[in-house]
Structure 1
Amino acid sequence: MSSGNDGSTGGGRTVSPRRDAVRNRDALLAAARGLFAERGLDVPFDDVARRAGLGSATLYRHFPNRAALVGAVYGDLLDATARAGRRALDESDAWAGLGAYVTAVYAGLAADPGANDLMTTSIPGITALDALHEEHRRTVARLVARAQEQGAMRGDVAVEDLLLALAAVGRTVPALASLDGAWQRQLALLLDGLRAPAPVPLPGRAPTGDELTDVLHALGPRLGR
């Protein structure tokens, strides 16, 4: 009786995946992680297969589309970010919750340079990324509103102001990760500027949601590289 690549045999009996299939999958994930860090999430599939030393057919057998590959590479980080958001929203002190949430997000960026695009890049078909962006926006919006209600955050800060500032500073996190405490220092400076009371009103106006999206796309996936 022969077994297929799905690890099953006739009669309903299952067998362990072949060792070479596991090895190939691990090689593909390692190659994708490295290329995502170097060139962004839209790197061609053929380049991933080539770096792994495998054929494109093998890549597509394991990961039929970009959503599957990105999800496999960053699934743990996506889940950790969502959990950090839920913990922040459970905090009675919204300011403390906001600080803990963005610190957790930045720690993920520092640990994996390729993860930097996750918070700002949108690639059609990757629903996990779209869901992350929406959840991130909702989490920040709720924390901002509560922090302002509690009198901890200046009232003239819009959600889009904070999202733009977080994205801009977040782009520097991988480059600062090798410097002890550097990204934590920049984040602390950013958050301190949001505290109430405000010494002077903010000039200009906050960007709209659509304007924020345009600005983030204009920054590109590799700001500062």
Structure 2
Amino acid sequence: MPHTLRSDARDNRERILHAARALFATEGLDVPMREVARRAGVGPATLYRRFPTKQALVTEAFAEQMRTCRSVADEGLAHPDPWLGFCFVIEEVCELHARDRGFTEAFMSAFPDAMDFAADRAGAVRAIAELARRAKDAGRLRRDFVLDDLILMLMAHRGIHAPSTAARVAAARRFAAFVVQAFSASAEQAPLPPVPLLAPPARVFEGRS
């Protein structure tokens, strides 16, 4: 009997996470917890027993995506050409966020109690900051680029709406191409306006490049 109960608990947990990922990916993080429970085929009590808060559910639901984001940043940093590595990160992050609408909100949220999530995000940000520094030193990334510009990018990217995931990804790839061109160093570029105050989301990017 104990083994059966543990198996049922694992099945419920996986159903909840599967439902949460599907809903967050298409609807964002505003989906009510009761809707997650309904989609998972479990009662609200079961949902709250496994995940007492929405933060706990979001953190676990996007744990794999956050690890992927960290891996993308590390892969870009390992590229022998820092500018191409930087472009790779922009393109991959845009596609990752296009496939999971809720992940943009999750990535930009503070989640102070989600230590693993926050640690992976901080590691990704540090890798991108170092990559940006190298790309600037190579003369390929515009000198007035700062990490807060990535917040602007994600905010703008979050506004992409399309009838399907495939269309959203296609739009994200075009958007990324525009962003890469905007970030590229060019003698003809006019200086950017001052860096805007984007707190609290800007806390995600504590360093400046």
Would you call these one fold, judging by a TM-score over 0.5? yes
Letter aligned with residue 140 of structure 1: I
Q: Please identify, of 123-132 and 143-152, the stretch whose mean Cα deviation from structure 2 is larger.
A: 123-132
**Alignment of 1:168 onto 2:168:** no
Tell me, which stretches of 5 or more residues in structure 2 are unaligned?
204-209
| 2:106 is aligned with 1:118 | yes
Q: TM-score, normalised by structure 2?
A: 0.78
Looking at structure 1, the residues matched to 22 and 45 of structure 2 have their Cα atoms a distance apart, in angstroms, of: 20
When the two chains are superposed, the root-mean-square deviation of aligned CA atoms in Å is: 3.0
Aligned mate of 1:127, from 115, 119, 122: 115
Residue correspondences, number: 201
Structure 1 residues 214, 75: CA separation in 2 closer, same or farther (over 3 Å shift)?
Answer: closer
Q: Unaligned stretches of 5+ in structure 1?
A: 8-16, 218-225
Q: Are 1:147 and 2:135 matched, yes or no?
A: yes
Residue equivalent to 1:3: 2
Partner of 2:199: 213
Deviation at 1:145, TM superposition (A): 0.9
Q: Rg bigger for which structure?
A: 1
Contact 1:119 / 1:132 at 8 angstroms: preserved in 2?
Answer: no
Shift of 1:131: 2.9
Instruction: Identify which of structures 1 and 2 has the higher relative contact order when contacts are C-alpha pairs closer than 8 Å and 6+ apart.
Output: 2
Higher helix share: 2
Aligned ranges 1:15-26 → 2 under 5 Å: 17=7, 20-26=8-14
Contact 1:88-1:101 within 8 A present in 2 as well? yes
Residue type of the alignment partner of 1:77: Q
* Deviation per residue, 1:21-72 (Å, 9 max, x gap): 3442233123322442455436543442244332233123333444542243
What SS does structure 2 have at the residue aligned with 1:181? helix
Q: Aligned in 2, Cα 1:174/1:5: closer, same or farther, shift over 3 Å?
A: farther
1:109–1:173 CA contact under 8 A, matched in 2: no
Contact 2:73–2:127 (Cα < 8 Å) also in 1: yes
**Contact 2:79/2:85 (8 A) holds in 1:** yes
